[in-house]
Homo-oligomer: A and B are copies of this chain.
Amino acid sequence: MNYKFIIQYDGTKYSGWQKQGNTSKTIQGKLEAVLTQLAGESVEVHGSGRTDAGVHAYGQVANAHFDTMYSCEQIRDLMNKYLPQDIAVLEVTKAHYRFHSQLNAKSKTYCYRIYNGPVRDVFTRNYTCHIEEELDVAAMRKAAALLEGTHDFTSFCGNRRFKKSPVRTITQICVEQKEKGLELWFTGDGFLQNMVRIMTGTMVEVGLGKRPADSMTEILEAKDRSAAGAMMPAQGLTLVSVAYKS
């Protein structure tokens, strides 16, 4: 049976989604350990995509093939019982045997949170990036609009050795003003490595008056990482949801 999972995690203490030498520090490693125990066979978990060290997920999607006599709800409850407190399985459903969380993903939504003010907020310190200076939200929105659409995002890719197509379609970037900061929402068919954090960093430089909003067009045309701004820290980023063809 192929199971589909919706997973939430606080990425603060992990070295990211993808398992590495030391799987005990990755989300994928934690999930596989619990499912292997539950199924009594070695289980491999496929995620919709990697998240970097320190990045969070509100609705990461994964799938895994294994057999068990437990119901979906029992699998969910057992996983939550044995997973650490900073990872939770929100939903387990039976999927078509060919369903693949990464290959079938149609679009993804990320949110980057900025806490704005003179003093840090202790309760959201692991889920926001703190910027003390005021930000020009109107200019950031203008920059955001220029990044929407289908573009070659090489300038916003953190992996200089990336060999596949760097063309992606961003359907929407919303800059939302909150009581104590900003939320930048990105929806697109896919994102290159560090792309959301580099786009946010470049838009923050626009918000701080360090570069004009309309420079986004030149940055895209440059197809050169050094044309864009600095990458924002991981802790402000959350993978909110992954959409599939229904």
- For residues 6 through 21 of chain A, which have their beta carbon under 8 Å from a beta carbon of chain B? 8-10
Q: Would you call A86 and B125 a contact (CB within 8 A)?
A: yes
Contact of A10 among B80, B90, B122 (CB under 8 A): B122
Which residues of chain B have C-beta atoms less than 8 A from A143's C-beta? none
A56 and B125 CA atoms in complex are apart in Å by 14
Q: How far is the CA of A14 from the CA of B127 in the complex (A)?
A: 20
Looking at the complex, which one of B86, B87, B89, B120 makes contact with A85 (CB distance below 8 Å)?
B120
Q: Is A121 an interface residue (CB 8 A)?
A: yes
A interface residues, tally (CB under 8 Å)? 22
B9 touches A85 (CB 8 A): no
A234 to chain B minimum Cβ distance, whole angstroms, is 15
A90's partner among B56, B87, B89, B119 (CB-CB below 8 A) is B119
Bound Cα distance A89, B117 (Å): 13
Tell me, rounded to whole Å, the shortest Cβ–Cβ distance linking A125 to chain B.
5
Q: Is the CB of B8 within 8 A of A86?
A: no
Which of chain B's residues have a CB closer than 8 A to the CB of A87? 122
Complex contact B119–A89 (CB within 8 A): yes
Interface string of A103-147 (1 = CB under 8 A from B): 000000000000000111111010100000000000000000000
Q: Does A25 contact B (CB under 8 A)?
A: no
Distance of A90 Cα from B121 Cα, bound (Å): 9
Nearest-Cβ distance from residue A158 to partner chain B, whole angstroms: 25
Do B9 and A88 touch (CB < 8 A)?
no
A-B contact pairs, 19 of them (CB 8 A): A8-B121, A8-B122, A9-B122, A10-B123, A10-B125, A56-B123, A58-B123, A77-B118, A80-B119, A80-B120, A85-B122, A85-B125, A86-B122, A86-B125, A88-B119, A88-B120, A88-B122, A90-B119, A123-B127
